[in-house]
Every structure is written in structure tokens, then in C-alpha cells.
Amino acid sequence: MKQCNHELIGPAAAAFIKMQRYIDIQKTNSEPVFILLYGTPGTGKSETAARVMNAITGNKHIINNNCDYSVKTVNGTDCNIDLLREWSVDIQYQNMHAPAWLAVIDEIDAMTSAAQTAALSFMDRAPADTVIIGTTNSNPAELQARFQSRFFCIHVAVSTDIEITEFIKNTYNLPGEIAGEIVSYCAGDIRQAMNDAKSAQIDQEIAAA
């Protein structure tokens, strides 16, 4: 699988590499891929999932040369029995030129118990070129045991203040003092740090105008 873990921070970058290796193993064994990323909010789980899908598709998310590289992305609250039925039909008619049948389920813990049960059959019948990545802020143990056991679980830990500071300092061209102050308030939440850094960057640009 193509490498594209640039701009992922610390634990998220490590999770990308681990996912890459697991996908390669499953591909060698002609087995479908079900991965669950878990950790506290703002650690980069959704971004990591997106980067993995980009690596699989070559950054193509549209129909190109009659090849459908689209990634199905849905929130767990919307991943219900009816949608799983649609997916069960769709997966059987996947474009033969596509690299895989791809889906990301954010906040997978929001799926109802009935939907988790229905997903068991869907996952058990999934072709070898299926890749499904789920994310959750909760402990995987909160999912139904049978459902959770089908996933390769990867914990995305909180990045260190140093890792986040260096990232936003370099990405948004901020002085180290300002970057450090932003990080001191975000409690490891990369998403919050990035939003605050964007605001600081805009303030700098306005002040310099």
C-alpha cells in the first residue's frame, strides 16, 4: 500500500503504519479488512482513516476512467439495517476495476444493537477486497462482543505537547511561544489546536496587513 502518512502526528502516524501493514497481511491472505480506531476525541482517528483510504485509492475519490474509487463515509447513527442491506447489494456489484470496496464508519459505537447484529452477516460475507474502518471515542468493549471481535483494534493515543507544538508551529508558521500557548489549552486535542492555530495565523496576517 502507498505511503502517505505525512502530516499525521505521533500516535496517528504510528497507527497509519500499523494499519498499512495489517492491510498488506490481509491482502496476502485474501481476507477482508475491518479496522477499528479508538481513542479520546481529537487524536486524529478520522484523519488517519481518510489517509489510509487515500493510500488505497491513490487519492481518487471520484469516478475516473470508469473506475469508481469512491469511499463510503457514514456516521454510526446513520449506519442502520436499511443501509447495510443496500451495502450488501452494492458490494456484490462493485466495479471490477476499483481497488476495493471501501467504507468509513465514524462513531461506530452510535450504531444500534440491531444494526451491529445485522453487520455481522454483512462482514462475514464480505469479499476479500473489502476495507471497512470504524472510529470511536469509546472503549471497544462497549460494542457488542461479537461485533467488536471482527475488528483489528488500534488505539490512537494522545499526542505529546511537543509533537503538537512542532506541528502547528511549522504548519501555520507561528512563533514557538504562541504555538506553545495554544497547545497548553488544548489538552491533547489536535483538532482544537489546529482550529486555534488557524485563528492565530489569521490574526497575524491581519496585523501584518
Residues listed for the chain: 209
The domain containing residue 35 runs over which residues?
A: 10-155
Count of domains observed in the chain: 2
Please say if the pLDDT value at position 62 is more than 60.
Answer: no
Please indicate, yes or no, whether residues 44 and 96 belong to a single structural domain of this protein: yes
Q: Looking at the structure, tell me whether residues 166 and 65 fall in a common domain.
A: no
- Tens of pLDDT along 98-151? 667 899 999 999 999 999 999 999 999 998 989 999 999 999 999 999 999 999
The DSSP call for residue 6 is T
The residue whose grid cell reads 486524529 is 44
Per-residue pLDDT of 77-91, as tens digits, reads 999 999 999 998 888
pLDDT digits (tens, 9 = 90+) for 16-55: 999 999 999 998 999 999 999 999 998 999 999 999 988 8
3-state secondary structure 103-152: EEEECHHHCCHHHHHHHHHHHHCCCCCEEEEEEECCCHHHCCHHHHCCCE
Residues 38 and 117 grouped into a single domain: yes
State the amino acid at position 124 in one-letter form: D
CATH number of the structural domain spanning residue 90: 3.40.50.300
C-alpha distances out from residue 162 to 4, 15, 184, Å:
22, 19, 10
Report percent pLDDT > 70 for the chain. 89
